[in-house]
C-alpha cells in the first residue's frame, strides 16, 4: 500500500513539474486572440462597442447590438464579412425617396417617374385638371398606365 501511495505521489509530482503551465498573462493573451472588440454605429437598436468571438461576422454584431432598425439599409452591408479587432461597422439608413405629387407635379417631374415619358406625363396633367386624384391607384385610369406600371411607380408617387 505504501508503494502504491508513493507511486501515485511521484506521478502527480511529475505531472505538475513536467506539464507546461500558462502564466496569467499568457492566458489573457490567448483569450484576447479568441475574442475581439468591434463597434457598430448607425441604424441599430443599441450602437456601441461589443466583445465577440474572433470569427463572428457582421450579422452576429448586428444581432448583439439588438438588431437593425426598421430604416436600416442592410443591402449596403456585407453580413457575412468579419471585422478586425477594433473595427467599426456603420449601418446606413435607407435614403428617403422623394415622392412626386400627382396633383401638383410639373410635366418634368412626372416624366422622371420610372416608365413615364412626356406623353403620359401630359395625360396625367390632363386627368388631374378634370378631377384631382383622390387615391394614388386612380393613376391607373390614365391611358398608358396599367397595373404593371403602377407597381413600378407606386413608391415614387403621392397625392
Of the candidates 8, 85, 93, which has an alpha carbon nearest to the alpha carbon of residue 42? 93
Residue 110 CB burial class (10 angstroms; 0-12, 13-18, ≥19): buried
From the list 77, 81, 89, 78, the residue with the least C-alpha distance to 39 is 89
- For the ranges 15-19, 43-47, 104-108, 113-117, the lowest mean pLDDT is seen at 15-19
List of domains in the chain? 27-95 (3.10.20), 100-158 (1.10.150.320)
The C-alpha angle with vertex 106 and arms to 112 and 147, in degrees rounded to 5, equals: 55
Terminal CA-to-CA distance of the chain, rounded, Å?
97
Least confident of 46-55, 91-100, 109-118: 91-100
- Write the CA distances from 106 to 8, 29, 87, 109, integer angstroms: 95, 66, 47, 5
pLDDT digits (tens, 9 = 90+) for 58-87: 999 999 999 999 888 888 888 889 888 888
State whether the Cα torsion 103-104-105-107 is positive or negative. positive
Of 33-37, 55-59, 88-92, 143-147, the one with minimum mean pLDDT is 33-37
Q: What is the pTM of this model?
A: 0.45
Amino acid at each position: 500500500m505504501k508503494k502504491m501511495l508513493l507511486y501515485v505521489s511521484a506521478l502527480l509530482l511529475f505531472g505538475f513539474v513536467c506539464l507546461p503551465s500558462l502564466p496569467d498573462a499568457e492566458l489573457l493573451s490567448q483569450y484576447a486572440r479568441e475574442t475581439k472588440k468591434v463597434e457598430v454605429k448607425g441604424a441599430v437598436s443599441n450602437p456601441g462597442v461589443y466583445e465577440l468571438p474572433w470569427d463572428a461576422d457582421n450579422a452576429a454584431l448586428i444581432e448583439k447590438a439588438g438588431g437593425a432598425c426598421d430604416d436600416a439599409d442592410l443591402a449596403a452591408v456585407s453580413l457575412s464579412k468579419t471585422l478586425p479587432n477594433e473595427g467599426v461597422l456603420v449601418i446606413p439608413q435607407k435614403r428617403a425617396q422623394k415622392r412626386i405629387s400627382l396633383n401638383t407635379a410639373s410635366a418634368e417631374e412626372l416624366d422622371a417617374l420610372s416608365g413615364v415619358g412626356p406623353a403620359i406625363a401630359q395625360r396625367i396633367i390632363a386627368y388631374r385638371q378634370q378631377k384631382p386624384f383622390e387615391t394614388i391607384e386612380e393613376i391607373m385610369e390614365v391611358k398608358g398606365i396599367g397595373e404593371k406600371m403602377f407597381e413600378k411607380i407606386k413608391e415614387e408617387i403621392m397625392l
